[in-house]
A and B are shown apart, each in its own frame.
Chain A
Amino acid sequence: MSEELHYFNEDAQEQLQMMESALLDAMDKGVNDEYIGTIFRAMHTIKGVAGMFSFEEIISFTHIAENLMDAVRNGKIVLDEALLMLLLRCKDHVASLVESAVASTSLGVQTQDEDTKLKELIHSYLSAPAQDRQNAVPIQTQQTQQVDGAKVWHLHLLLKESFFDTGMDLLAILSYLKKLGTVRSIEAELDKLPLLVDIDPFIPYMSFSIDFESDADEADIVEVFEFVEDDIVLKLQVLEQTQLKLEEPKEATQEAIQEVPKNVEKQPNIEIKKQTPSQSLRVDSAKIDLLIDTISEMVIANAKIARYVEQNYDADLEEVSLELETLLETLRNNVMQIRMLPVGESFEKFRRVVNDVAHKLGKKINFTILGGDTELDKTVIEKIADPLVHMLRNAVDHGIEMPDKRLEAGKSEIGNVELRAYPESGSIVIEIEDDGKGLSKDFLMAKAISKGLIAHDTHMSEMQAYQLIFAPGFSTAEVISDISGRGVGMDVVKKNIEALKGDVELSSVVGHGSRFTIRLPLTLAIIDGFLFEVGATRYIIPLDMISEVVEFDTKHQIQMDKSNLFDLRGTLLPLLDVKEFYHEKSRDANARKNIIIVKYANQKMGMLVDELYGENQTVIKPLGRLFKNAPGLYGASILGSGEIALIFDIPALFEIVNLEKE
């Protein structure tokens, strides 16, 4: 895919997302000018950029949709719920058209059918007499009944030497400009054009003077040249403007413009300041991944230098190495920050899912997103989307009751589903909570027994019973629908979350609702770790998950011999003897030992280890097959010495310890 096409695709996706958000907001909060403007601009912008690529299907459809929104904007058509639903279909259809255009594939039969149907529906709106729509809900619009009339613009367009390097065809751009209005005259300025023997065919020498009549505003016109804005000098000037009432027929408009004398006194130049250069830059995420990989290798290389310094007592080199380490840490943090995105943008897409499912089931849902500013690694955000969609559908389908049942239960007929995100000790927590009917331990166990997933006489704690929902083949749905209830999904959801080194748990109160809690690591690439040794092996724990370190003494030894618990200032915590857990061999039985107190999800436990080495920039590498079944390990890291250190998966360790407790 060419770079331009890639940007077209990204822009179109952004516009469509904004359109969808505006449509859903309009459904939830009522229609206003801002939402109408956003929907109109989405269609208008996609049409404009598609014009430069000659994507005729997109141009044709968005043009009609734009006309429809223009009529809405002008108060000629009322934006009621039926039209909002139609526009959601239009949004989906444009997404399909963009997908086909970008992939250079012809439209499928279904897409062609949808294109025809939607165009017919839009035409029926555009051609229906006003009285047909009198019963519709009025728009809460503050739009004035007067709009700016057509303007006659004078454009001067100078092409810079770099213009042909853009690969853009000026004629396609001018062709699109014509779609915004009427070109009254265009004059090519040839005074700088060299003779054929002197010409460089790769440099443009021409400039253009264009008189252009349009009701488009300055931003719309400038936008036409968006893709080549760095390779042209564009000056705009308004020659004449007329005020028109909305109801005036178009012919009158044209007459009015034709009356503008040719030698009209020119108004002062509109100051077309080049838009403030954007403070953001689009970069292919693969380039950032490459940068992170390179930094990872540099971290390892510097660790080798540090190791050399340690062995050779070179003070000067040590200073350089420490400085390099600090710089690398800063560089790493800054680059990692580039990958961090607020989750809100991705969460916005789920509103449509909730809306569609609720609509289909006849349920009323108030969907709230909290903590949208919480940042998470881009890859994690992308990979968590599918599991979240699944859980949200389940929450609406299984969790929230039908309106009449809610009323019977003394609840509001509108169910609440909340999606929230917040940081917590080196992790990000995402919660999906509903105020629906909830699930009981007995209900879950009875279902599991009926499906043969557990034996009749199985005893389980509440926590274990809630984990049943993630078992393959488990479903709480009474009726299998096309939305959920086939029992395939929650096990896949759990697997997908675990693949991201996260975990998911369920808690529920019958009659009050359920809550899924997902914990995810902030990033999957480099972490600040804490290095220590047990037996002959080095291990790392993510620094954020360490609460404190205490020296292991005889008092602890006595406590541990009795119960595998130890007393931390009056609180009894589980103590995991790492050496015993991994069957490590002791090097020196009398050597000093330490307890690392780790924390996760409001729990704490101690880990009995040998020597502590301290903070370590940890580049996470996947574990080899040999360690596939080793419990509680997350990955590995290469140390400066070339040795391998194993990285603990603290959430998994807590799970193991909790199960042992139970």
Chain B
Amino acid sequence: MKLQWDTLSIATAESLHEALLPLLQSKEEVVELDLENVNKLDLSAVQLFLSLQKSLTAQNRKLSLSNCTNSVLAAFELCGCLKQLGCSYE
């Protein structure tokens, strides 16, 4: 699923939560979130990605975040979640 938001903040947290919930019902083993459009995010968004990842792990499934911009990677790094979310700068 490709996220369409440019900025993910507490203002969009509820919408993002609602957008992510259906992914728990999907059939794919690896759920891919395309973050190409996202240029800025805050902790509320990071927390939702981590919660989604935790939920998928409980279902023996995986989360893959793709096309992350440098600012998104920097945000993950800042809060110590870069590796946890399976991302890197390469």
Contact = CB atoms under 8 A, between A and B. Distances in A.
Given A190-B54, A197-B21, A205 B75 contact: no
B79 A197 contact: no
Interface in A117-141: none
Contacts of B21: 196-197
Contacts, number: 80
A201 B47 CA distance: 8
Chain B's interface size range is 20 to 34
Contacts of B44: 164, 201-202, 204
Given A196-B17, A196-B24, A170 B54 contact: no
A201 B48 contact: yes
B50 interface: yes
Chain A's interface size range is 20 to 34
B55 A206 contact: no
B16 interface: yes
A170 B81 CA distance: 14
A331 to B, nearest CB: 40
Contacts of A167: 10
A188 B81 contact: yes
Contacts of B69: none
Given A167-B10, A196-B20, A175 B54 contact: no
A186 B79 contact: yes
A471 to B, nearest CB: 60
B14 interface: yes
B22 to A, nearest CB: 10
Interface string B25-59: 00000000000000000111001101110110010
Given A174-B78, A174-B79, A188-B79, A204 B43 contact: yes
Contact of A205 (B16, B47, B80): B47
Contact of B54 (A169, A188, A193, A201): A193
Contacts of A202: 10, 13-14, 44
B84 interface: yes
Contact of B42 (A169, A185, A199, A208): A169
Closest 5 CB pairs of A and B: A186-B80, A201-B13, A196-B55, A201-B17, A195-B55
13 contacts: A164-B10, A164-B13, A171-B75, A174-B78, A185-B80, A188-B80, A188-B81, A199-B48, A201-B44, A201-B48, A204-B44, A205-B47, A210-B80
Interface of A: 164, 167, 169-171, 174-175, 178, 185-188, 190, 193-197, 199, 201-202, 204-206, 208, 210
